Amino acid sequence: MIKITFPDASVREYEKGITGLEIAQSISRRLAQDALAVSVNGETWDLTRPIENDSEVNILTWDDAEGKHAYWHSSAHLMAEALQELYPGIKFGIGPAIENGFYYDVDPGEGVSIKEADFPIIEKKMMELIAAKEDIIRKSISKTEAVKMFSERDENYKVELINELEDGTITTYTQGSFTDLCRGPHLPNTSYIKAVKVLSAAGAYWRGDEKRPQLTRLYGITFPKKKLLDEYLVLLEEAKKRDHRKIGKELQLFTFSQTVGSGLPLWLPKGTQLRLRLEDFLKKIQRDFDYDQVITPHIGHKQLYVTSGHYAKYGQDSFKPIQTPEEGEEFLLKPMNCPHHCEIYKTFPHSYKDLPLRLAEFGTVYRYEQSGELHGLTRVRGFTQDDAHIFCTPDQVKDEFLKVVDIIFIIFNALNFKDFEAQISLRDPNNRDKYIGTDENWEKAERAIIEACEEKGLKTKIELGEAAFYGPKLDFMVKDALGRRWQLGTIQVDYNLPERFELEYTGADNQKHRPVMIHRAPFGSMERFVALLIEHTAGKFPLWLAPTQAVVLPVSEKFNDYAYKIAKDLKKLDIRAEVDDRNEKVGRKIRDNELKRIPYLLIVGEKEAENEEVSVRKQGGEVKGTVKISTFAEEVLAEVRDMMNSGRAAE
C-alpha cells in the first residue's frame, strides 16, 4: 500500500500502482468525469500513469492551468494526427500548448500550402478522430530507438530534436497511427476533446532561425463544451475590434515605416502626448519616493555587457556590435539599462548613510527580434523601459521591495487594473547553469521576496524556472477587460551584478560591503504598456490620459471664432481641447468624434455664444446640459484630480 496526501492534507491509502484516474473515481464520479491530469509531488502526470510511491496528489481539471495545458497539448497531437491523414508526407516540428490553445509547426511538403479554406476540412477530420475514442498511449524508449523510429518515417525535424537530448530514456505518445516525441502529459483518450477550432496559419522559421526552412504554424483551440468555444469566438471577435494596431491607426497614436525599419515604432503627436503623460505620472510618484532621474547613452562598450553577463546570455538577441573605424573598439546598441546604472553608482564612494540610492530612467533599449516575431507595440526591436535600480544594504531590501509594490499598486489603481495576480519567479533547481551567482546569494534573494510578499499579505503563486538569470523576481500578471493575461510590473532582487561590477559601500563598522540591487519596472516597457492600455480600454482612455480631452463643435461657421476662443481658454487651464470646424452638420461631427473616443463633446451655437456657455455631451451619448465654460473647466479638472488621486487613496 502507498499513502496519498491530498491538498487539504487528508491522507488515504491505495494499492501501489494506482493511477490518478482511479484515485479520482474513488473520490467521486463527478471528479473522475472532470479530471484531465494529475499532479504528483508537484509534477503533472497522465491520469493513467501508475503511482508507485507515497505521494502528494492533486487531481487537475479544466479549472487548473496544468489541466488546460494537458488538454491543449493533447489537442495539438490530435490536430497533427488529422494533418497526417490529410497531407501524406507532411513532416512535424514542435506542437506545444500555449496560453490560449496550441499550435503545431509543420512542413506540408514542396508546393503544398495549408490555407484558411482548408480549416473546416481539418476540423472535420479532428472530430472523426475524437469520435474514434483513440487511447493516447505513453511509451518509454531509448534514444537509439527513437532516432531509428523517426528516421524511418523521414521525420528529420524530430530526429534533430532527439539528437540534442541527453542519452537515456525518451518518451513517445501514440494515438491511432500518429506517434510523437513528447514528454507529456496527455489526456487518456481523444474523446475528452469536445469542440475544436483551427484559428489561423502563419509562417515560422524552424527553431526561430531565418536561415532554416520556413514551416507553417497552425494555431488551434479546443474546449470540453461547445458553449465555451462559442463564448471564446465571441471574445476573439471583440479582441479584433480592440487590436491596438487597428485602434492606434484610427486614433493616430503611432505608426511603423519599412524605411525606418521593422519593429521600430514612430510615435505620432497624439500617441506621444499619451506616453509623456504616463511618464510624467510615474515621475511624480518617483519624486515622492525619493528617486533620482538619470540619463544614459543608447550604446555601450561590449565589455560592459560581458561584465554584467548579459552578453553571454543574450548576445544572440542583440544587434551586431558596432566597430569604431580606427580603434576597432566594439559597441552594442544598449540591450538593457542596469549595467549603465551600476557604473553611475561607481562614480562616487558610498557610505551606508547614502543608501538606499534609487536611480530611475526611461531608457530606450534595443534587442534583435526575428521579423516573424514582431507584433505591433507588443514585440518590437526598440522599446523604452520605465527602469529603476535601487542600491541598498541587505537589511533595507525588504522595506525597499515593499515600497516598489506600493508604487505598482498606485499605478494599477489609477488605471483601474483590478484583476491581477502576483507570481514569484524562482530559478529552476534542476538547471542551475542558466543562472549566475552563488547558491547563497540566490537563497537570500528568494527568501527576501517571499518574506516581503508574506508581510504585505500579497497572494502569490510560485513559478520555478522563470527567474532572471541574475536574480529571482516578482511579476504582476494583469487581466484586461477581455480576461487576457499580460505580464506587467516586475521587481527583481539581485545580489550578483553588484559582485560582478565590484560595487561597494562603507558600513557602520568602517568596512567595505556589497550593496544589494533591486531592479524594477512598473510599466515594463512603454510600448507594451500602451498596447495593453489601448486594448483594455478599447481606446477610451481615462480622462487624465486622453490625448484630446474635449472637442468643440460649432453648429455652423458663424460660431467658429467662439469655438476657437473656448479651446484657447481650456488649453490655458491645461485641458487638451480641439475644434472641429468642418463644414458638416453637427450630427455628423458628433458621430465622427464619438468614434475618436474623445471624452467630452462641446456643442456651441447662438445661445451658447451669447451666454459664454457650452452644451456638454459625454462620450457614450450622455447629455450633461448647458453650463458656463468656467463651470465645465472646474468639473473636468476635479475629475482629473480624483482619478489621479485614486491610486494614492488605495495606497
Binding-site sequence positions for Zn(2+): 338, 389, 519
77 as an active site residue: the answer is no
Residue 542 neighbours by CB distance under 10 Å: 18
Residue type, position 574, single letter: D
The answer to whether the beta carbons of residues 274 and 539 sit under 8 Å apart is: no
Distance CA 596, CA 106 (A): 42
The secondary structure of residue 166, as a DSSP letter, is: P
Q: Which of 69, 242, 340, 473 is catalytic?
A: 473
The HSE-up count of residue 164 (CA atoms within 13 Å, CB side) is: 8
Burial class (CB in 10 A: 0-12, 13-18, 19+), 540: middle
Radius of gyration of the chain measured on its C-alpha atoms: 29
CA separation (Å) from 105 to 85, 90, 149, 157, 203? 16, 11, 20, 10, 9
385 as an active site residue: the answer is yes
Distance CA 451, CA 399 (A): 11
Residue type, position 378, single letter: T
258 as an active site residue: the answer is no
Distance CA 506, CA 648 (A): 36
370 as an active site residue: the answer is no
**Beta-sheet strands, E only, within 240-303:** 254-255, 266-267, 292-293, 299-301
User: Can you list the alpha helix ranges (DSSP code H) found in 15-64?
Assistant: 20-27, 29-34
Q: Which of 175, 385, 492, 549 is catalytic?
A: 385
Residues in the chain: 651
CA 300 vs. chain centroid, Å, equals 27
* Residue with grid cell 468643440, as numbered in its chain: 552
Q: Which of 334, 389, 513, 596 is catalytic?
A: 389
The answer to whether the beta carbons of residues 381 and 395 sit under 8 Å apart is: no
Distance CA 384, CA 256 (A): 16
Q: In a 3-state reduction of DSSP, which class is residue 495?
A: coil
Q: Which of 158, 341, 519, 597 is catalytic?
A: 519
Burial class (CB in 10 A: 0-12, 13-18, 19+), 148: middle
389 as an active site residue: the answer is yes
Q: Which of 68, 270, 338, 520 is catalytic?
A: 338
Nearest to 5 by CA among 57, 69, 61, 73: 57
The answer to whether the beta carbons of residues 17 and 49 sit under 8 Å apart is: no
Cell triple for 297: 547613452
Q: Which of 217, 340, 367, 536 is catalytic?
A: 367
310 as an active site residue: the answer is no
- Planar angle of CA 336, 337, 343, nearest 5 degrees: 130
**Beta-sheet strands, E only, within 428-549:** 460-464, 473-479, 485-494, 505-506, 512-513, 516-521
DSSP H or E segment with residue 603? strand 600-604
Cell triple for 3: 499513502
- Binding-site residues, in ranges, read 338, 389, 519
CA separation (Å) from 477 to 188, 422, 467, 471? 32, 6, 15, 19
The secondary structure of residue 582, as a DSSP letter, is: -
CA separation (Å) from 323 to 124, 205, 260, 340, 353? 57, 30, 22, 20, 41
568 as an active site residue: the answer is no
Distance CA 253, CA 245 (A): 9
Plot region of 622 (φ>0 → left; ψ -120 to 50 → alpha; else → beta): beta
Q: Which of 46, 387, 494, 580 is catalytic?
A: 387
Q: Could you list the active site residues?
A: 338, 367, 385, 387, 389, 473, 519
